[in-house]
Amino acid sequence: MEYKAAKVVSLKNHPNLNERWLQERIIEDPSILGLGNLDVRESERIQPTGGRLDLLMSDPDSLTRYEVEIQLGASDERHIIRTLEYWDVERRRYPQYDHVAVLVAEDVTSRFLNVISLFNGFIPIIAIQMQALEVGGALTLSSSRVLDVLNLGTEEEDVAGASTDRAYWEAKATPASLKLADRFIELAREKDSSLAPKYNKYYIGLARNGIADNFISLKPKKNWIIFQPKVPSNAELNQRLDDAGLQVMAYERRFNHYKIRLSDTELTEHIDLIREIISMAYSPDEM
């Protein structure tokens, strides 16, 4: 096989190629970003606060949206601020989705990489360095992810000694919402009768013989509950939840679980669907 060295081509200084050209290449093949097979929902998306978002992209298999900003040349302060501003606008407008800010530049400098790194863990942000390369007279694009979303630990790992008891949750929520949590636990026990509730500071999970097994977790509120099944997000399940009229608050990729808001009435009305979702979480291979 013949070897040919690649030559880096500056898009910023090229007489014919520009940011619009790069944007069109990404629209033609979103996979060149290295973020998977994303859908392009809109380009040059007008923002209510002014300006245009270069690309709004989404993962067809989850509730994640990507706010993508493109910068030719080296990343700079304005580009970072614009990327974060548009990400913030979109997440406020559409809180039912997970949102990730994506900065694309020909050169993500170490200085600004350090600045961006300060936000990671608090703001989900990805930095991608994308360069145009000339190889044997043809032009191609090469991308590398130089900063990824920080993968946070699960909540049970966050706080040492975070175990509580039922009385804590009755005071934090209500006895009625605790009874609603009991109904979910009984549905889980249909899969394994040895399961028992495990009361933690931030959620109610499950334990088997004292060992945590949180394939579902629960966050009781005053009059409803957040049901969190660890099920891989998929378009079919998203559609079924939407058809049932159930409120999916988000899909949290770092925890790999849905956040579904349910009342006692909704659980009763859709108990077969909830039972099926619990079964999916307990046995993912059955999906």
Of the two residues 53 and 49, the one the predictor is more confident about is 53
pLDDT at 249 over 90: no
Q: CB 14: neighbour CB atoms within 10 A?
A: 13
Res 96: pLDDT: 79
Q: Are 8 and 135 in contact (CB under 8 A)?
A: no
Q: How far apart (Å, rounded) are the C-alpha atoms in residues 284 and 221? A: 28
CB 49 within 8 A of CB 109: no
**Percentage above 70 pLDDT, the chain:** 91
pLDDT digit string (tens) for 97-110?
889 999 999 998 87
Average model confidence (pLDDT) for the chain? Answer: 87
C-beta separation of 120 from 150 below 8 A: yes
Confidence of residue 209 (pLDDT cuts 50, 70, 90): confident
pLDDT tens sequence across 260-277: 999 999 999 999 999 999
* Residue 269 CB burial class (10 angstroms; 0-12, 13-18, ≥19): middle
For residue 68, give the H/E element and its range. Answer: strand 64-74
Please state, in angstroms and rounded to a whole number, the distance separating the CA atoms of residues 112 and 203.
37
What percentage of the chain carries pLDDT values higher than 90? 54
Cα(204)–Cα(214) distance, integer angstroms: 9
Instruction: For residues 223-252, give the mean pLDDT.
Output: 88
From 185, 171, 69, 168, select the one nearest 125 (Cα to Cα): 69
Neighbours of 167 (CB within 10 A): 10
Query: For 74, phi and psi rounded to 5 degrees?
Result: -85, 145
- Asked whether the whole model's pTM tops 0.75, one would answer no
**What confidence tier does 250 reach under pLDDT thresholds 50, 70, 90?**
confident
Q: From CA 266, how far away is CA 278, in angstroms rounded?
A: 16
**Bridge partners of residue 247, in order along the sequence:** 261
Task: Report pLDDT for 136.
Answer: 83
pLDDT tens digit string along 8-35?
899 999 999 899 999 999 999 999 998 8
If you count DSSP H runs as helices and E runs as strands, how many of each does the chain have, helices first? 9, 14
The DSSP bridge pattern shows strands 257-262 and 247-252 to be antiparallel
Residue of 215, 220, 227, 184 whose CA lies nearest to 282 = 215
Residue 286's pLDDT band (cuts 50, 70, 90) = very low
Alpha helical stretches, state H, 108-192: 110-119, 155-158, 166-172, 175-189
Q: Which of 56-65, 102-111, 158-167, 227-236 has the lowest mean pLDDT?
A: 158-167
Most confident segment among 167-176, 239-248, 262-271 = 262-271
At 223, list the tokens.
């009059």
pLDDT at 245 over 60: yes
CATH of domain 155-286: 3.90.1150.200
Q: What is the CATH number of domain 7-147?
A: 3.40.1350.10
Q: Is residue 158 over pLDDT 50?
A: no
pLDDT reported for residue 150: 57
Q: Give domain limits for the chain.
A: 7-147, 155-286
